[in-house]
Chain A
Amino acid sequence: MEESSELPLDAKSEFVDFQWKLGLAASCDGCRSLKYRYVAVLAVMLKVADHSGQVKTKSFEMTVPQFQNFDRQFKEIAAVIETM
């Protein structure tokens, strides 16, 4: 699943599907505190189809603030698209 970071300008993938999993990860920042700190992490498995129709899965993670940003932007997209 090697991808070049230099895509031709019109290379677009079509969104197919995405699956998600919400979990907790333990993190310890230099172990400043004796208590464990937990971070909510959203794991996403995004399915996209490239111009040849081949479906690939991209896996990545988001923190909750990143997800909220993503969510807000998507709602904006939806609002605009509905007006067209």
Chain B
Amino acid sequence: MAAGELEGGKPLNGLLNALAQDTFHGHPGITEQLLQSQLYPEVPPEEFRPFLAKMRGILKSIASADMDFNQLEAFLTAQTKKQGGITSDQAASHKTKIRESLMNQTLSWRVDGNSQLTETKHSPQIHTPVAIRELELGKYGQESEFLRLEFDEVKVNQILKTLSEVEESISTLISQPN
């Protein structure tokens, strides 16, 4: 089977789905052998391997480049023109899936009066209230990462300021007519 015949159609969609699972969702059990036997049983391994690597590369580029839609369009047009590329529909749906798989939840917080900084013999202990906040960052299919963050009052105010800028942007975005 020529390399050109590998592109397009249901097997390719299945392959991209499976790769998105493996690469971005940490799904165990997705091996090269499984992909090949399920989706491209007639393709010899030495042909399938480079094709698989290329598809993985395309998926990674899409996800990591954080392109806006114009950039994505341009990137995909270039890809589809190359032999063995993917269609722009397929890439667009995969990009959405990959982004959706990054999930954020805030868990809990507490405010402590804390002593900060190393004491030396000459300087007094400095007590500064700090907020400790736990963030849970998760990806579907993977364990969440817990991030425990410390903020003092200055930083809290700095963040609040940025958050109100975000709020303003959101209002502008939502109030714009479609």
Contacts and interface: CB of A to CB of B under 8 A. Distances in A.
Interface of A: 3, 5, 7, 11-15, 18, 20, 22-28, 40-44, 48, 58-62, 64, 66-67, 69-71, 73-75, 77-78, 80-82, 84
Contacts, number: 104
Given A28-B93, A71-B166, 8 more contacts: A13-B147, A28-B96, A58-B147, A59-B102, A71-B163, A78-B160, A80-B131, A81-B153
B109 A42 contact: no
Interface of B: 66, 68, 92-93, 96, 99-100, 102-106, 109, 111, 113, 129, 131-133, 137, 143-151, 153, 155-157, 159-160, 162-163, 166-167, 169-170, 173-174
A47 to B, nearest CB: 11
Contacts of A69: 106
A5 B173 contact: no
Nearest to B113: A84
Interface pairs A-B: 8 shortest CB-CB: A84-B129, A5-B143, A60-B104, A12-B148, A77-B131, A12-B150, A22-B169, A80-B111
A82 B152 CA distance: 11
A48 B143 contact: no
A64 B170 contact: yes
A22 B146 contact: no
B170 to A, nearest CB: 6
Contacts of B147: 13, 48, 58
A18 B146 contact: no
Contacts of B129: 81, 84
Contact of B170 (A14, A61, A67, A81): A67
Contacts of A62: 104
Contact of B159 (A18, A25, A26, A43): A18
- Most chain B CB atoms below 10 A, which of A26, A71, A81: A81
A61 B166 CA distance: 13
Contacts of A66: 104-106
B133 A20 contact: no
A82 B153 contact: yes
B166 A5 contact: no
Contacts of B153: 78, 81-82
Contacts of A59: 102
Given A77-B109, A81-B131, A15 B149 contact: yes
